[in-house]
Structure 1
C-alpha cells in the first residue's frame, strides 16, 4: 500500500456523506421540452443556452453535506465552441469527399488540435463548477494532454487493443490527479492491473454469455419452429441474434458499474476519500425500463430516463470525510478558454470526472 492510500480515512472513523439528488422527471421534462422546441426554432443556436439551463438544474439538485453544487457556464462561450466543432466536423467530412489525400491531411489536423480542445474542455467544465462558493479547477498542462489524448490512443491501435486497459488507467489518473477543489488536489491510485482485471472479467463473461445465448437461441428456434410463421433456420437465427443482443445490452452495465466503483474507490480529495456502490442488477433494470419507456412514449420519456440514471449513479456515491468540508481554501483561479466544451458536446467525448 502506498503512502497516498495509507493517508485515506478509515471507513469506521470517517464521516460518511452521501450525495443527494432531488431532481425529478416531471420538473426536468418542462425544462427539456422548452429547450428542445427553442433549439429547433433557432436551428440549434439555443442549444448552448439549453445546456446551461439543464446543467444549472442538475447541479443545484445535487447536494453534499447540506449544500448544493453550482454551474456557471457561459452559453455564448459554449456556442462559439459548437460553431468551431461544426466547422471541424464539416471540414473533415467535406475533405474526404473532395480528395482522399485532402481528407487524410484534415484527419491529421483534427488529431493534432483535438488534445488541446479536450484539455480546454476539462478546464472549462471544472472551472465552471463550484461548491460552497469554491470553484473546481484542472491543472493538467498541454503537453500532458497530447500524451494522454494523442499518443496513448495511438498505442491502443498499435497494440490491436491490448493496451486499452493501460491507456484507460492512465487517462483516468490524468483526469483525477490533475483536478482540484479550490487549492486542494485530487489523487488517484488505482493500478493498471486492476483495470486489466475488470476488462478481462467483462470480456470473459461477455464471451461465455454470447456462446450460451447462441446455443439457446438455436435449440429454442429449432424446437418451436412449428409454432412460428417462418421456418426453423430463420427462427433459430432470429432467436440467436435477439438473445445475444439482449445479453450484450444487459452486460454493459456490469462493466460500467465495476469501473465506476473501481475509479471512485481509488480517488481522494486531500484527506477525504470516496466510495461508490453501483450494483449491476439495479443499473441494468434502470436501463431496460428506460429503453421501454422511451420506445413506448416515442421519446417523451427521455428526460425521465436521464433523471433516473443520474439519481442512481450519484446517490450510489459516498464521500468519506476526514474532517469538515469548510476547511478548503479557494485556490487562485484563472479564466479558461471554453472552446473545447462545445466540441466535446458535438463529438460526445466522456470527460466527466
Structure 2
C-alpha cells in the first residue's frame, strides 16, 4: 500500500508469522431482525422520548443499537453490544448544553452567537474520535471486543482542512456583526461565503478520502488493524460519477418543468391540477435516484478497499435494488403516516449488511482464542470504555 504523507503508516497489532499462505474462509453476513419486532422497540422508544422531552433518547439509541447488532450474524455468530446508556446520556447532555448556549447567545447576545459554534468546531474531531472509540469498544464478536485505535492527532489532521473554512466562516460572521453598514456587511458575507463554498466543493473528495482513511484505518479487532486502500483518485472518481448523475437528474427535471409550463397554457380544469402533481413527482425522483446511487457506490468503495493482514472485506451493494427498496419504503411511510418507518429501517439494513462479505485467512478460532487470553477481550477492554463518550455522531 502506498504511504500517505499526512498520516503515519498503519501498523498491524501483532508481529507473528504471516498467515497469507493459509486458505481463506468466507464469512457471510446475515441480518435476522424483523420489522414487527423492531416496531415494538421503536414505538416504545418514541413515546418515552416524547414523554421525557427527549431525555430518553440516549437510552432509546442504546436499545436500537443492541437490537440491530444482536441480529447481525457474522459467520452464524451475532455481534454484541455492551454500551452503557448512562455514558451515552452524558454525551447527549453535552450536546444539549451546546444547543442551549447557542440559543441563549442568539437571543440575548447575538454578537457572541458564533462563539459556541467555534468551540464546537474546534472540539468536533475529538468528540467524533471519542464516539468511534465508544461504539467500537462496546461491539464484540465471539467474545472479543473491537476497538478504534486512531489517535487524537490523526483526528485533527484529517479534519484540519474542514476546520479552517469553518473558522473562517465564524470570523466572517463576527466581522459582519461588528459592521454598521448593512450593505457592506451583506456584500462581505456573500463574497466570503461564496469563495469558501467553492473551495470546499473542489476539495470535498480529498477531504472525504482523508476522513475515511483515518476512520477505517483505526478499526481494530483481535490482533488485526484495518487499512483503507482506496486512493484519493478513487474518491474523485466517485464524486464525478455522483455529480454526473445529479446533473442528469437536473436536466431531466428542467425538461419536465419546461414541458409542464408549455402545457399549462393550453389546458384547463382537472388537467391543471394534474400537472403540478406530475412536476412534484418529478422532483421526488431526484433524491430517489441520487441517494441510493451515492449510498451504494460509497459503501462499495469503502468496504471493498478495507482490509487487514488476515481480514478482507468486499461489498456488492446494487444500485437498482436499493432504489426500488427506497421507493417502496417512501411510499409505504407516506401511506401509513410514518408507521412503516421501523420496517423500512430493517429492510434497508438487511440489504446493506448482506451485500458485505468477509474473507478471513488462517484459523479464526486460534487467533480469537489468543485475543481472548490477552488484553483485547471483553474484560481487558472494559476499563477503557470510561475514556469513550457517545455523542450520537
Q: Shorter-chain TM-score: which interval?
A: 0.7 to 0.9
Shift of 1:169: 0.8
SS of structure 2 residue aligned to 1:161: helix
Deviation string, structure 1 residues 304-335 (Cα, Å, up to 9, x no partner): 01001100000000002223322234336352
Structure 2 residue 184 is the aligned partner of structure 1 residue 174: no
- For 2:286 and 2:117, the matched residues in 1 are separated by 35
- For 2:352 and 2:221, the matched residues in 1 are separated by 21
Alignment match, 1:336: 385
- Judged with a 3 Å threshold, the aligned counterparts in structure 2 of structure 1 residues 151 and 229 are, in CA distance, closer, same or farther, namely same
- For 1:271 and 1:155, the matched residues in 2 are separated by 39
- For 1:225 and 1:173, the matched residues in 2 are separated by 54
Alignment match, 1:36: 46
> Structure 1 residues 241-250 or 203-212, which shifts more?
241-250
- For 1:305 and 1:315, the matched residues in 2 are separated by 15
- Judged with a 3 Å threshold, the aligned counterparts in structure 2 of structure 1 residues 81 and 186 are, in CA distance, closer, same or farther, namely same
- For 1:111 and 1:40, the matched residues in 2 are separated by 29
Shift of 1:209: 2.5
Alignment match, 2:79: 69
Alignment match, 2:361: 322
Alignment match, 1:81: 91
- For 1:58 and 1:128, the matched residues in 2 are separated by 14
Root mean square deviation, CA, Å: 2.8
SS of structure 1 residue aligned to 2:86: helix
SS of structure 2 residue aligned to 1:278: coil
Shift of 1:173: 0.7
The partner residue of 2:256 within 180, 202, 216 is 216
Contiguous gaps of at least 5 residues in structure 2: 4-9, 11-17, 167-195
Alignment match, 1:311: 350
SS of structure 2 residue aligned to 1:335: helix
SS of structure 1 residue aligned to 2:307: strand
Q: Is the 8 A contact 2:246 2:290 kept in 1?
A: yes
Structure 2 residue 279 is the aligned partner of structure 1 residue 269: no
The partner residue of 2:235 within 171, 195, 219 is 195
Contiguous gaps of at least 5 residues in structure 1: none
> Structure 1 residues 296-305 or 329-338, which shifts more?
329-338
SS of structure 2 residue aligned to 1:299: coil
- Judged with a 3 Å threshold, the aligned counterparts in structure 2 of structure 1 residues 338 and 231 are, in CA distance, closer, same or farther, namely farther
Structure 2 residue 177 is the aligned partner of structure 1 residue 138: no
TM-score, length of structure 2 as denominator length: 0.78
TM-score, length of structure 1 as denominator length: 0.87
Shift of 1:182: 2.5
- For 1:339 and 1:180, the matched residues in 2 are separated by 15
Q: Number of paired residues?
A: 339
- Judged with a 3 Å threshold, the aligned counterparts in structure 2 of structure 1 residues 236 and 153 are, in CA distance, closer, same or farther, namely farther
Structure 2 residue 59 is the aligned partner of structure 1 residue 49: yes
- Judged with a 3 Å threshold, the aligned counterparts in structure 2 of structure 1 residues 296 and 238 are, in CA distance, closer, same or farther, namely closer
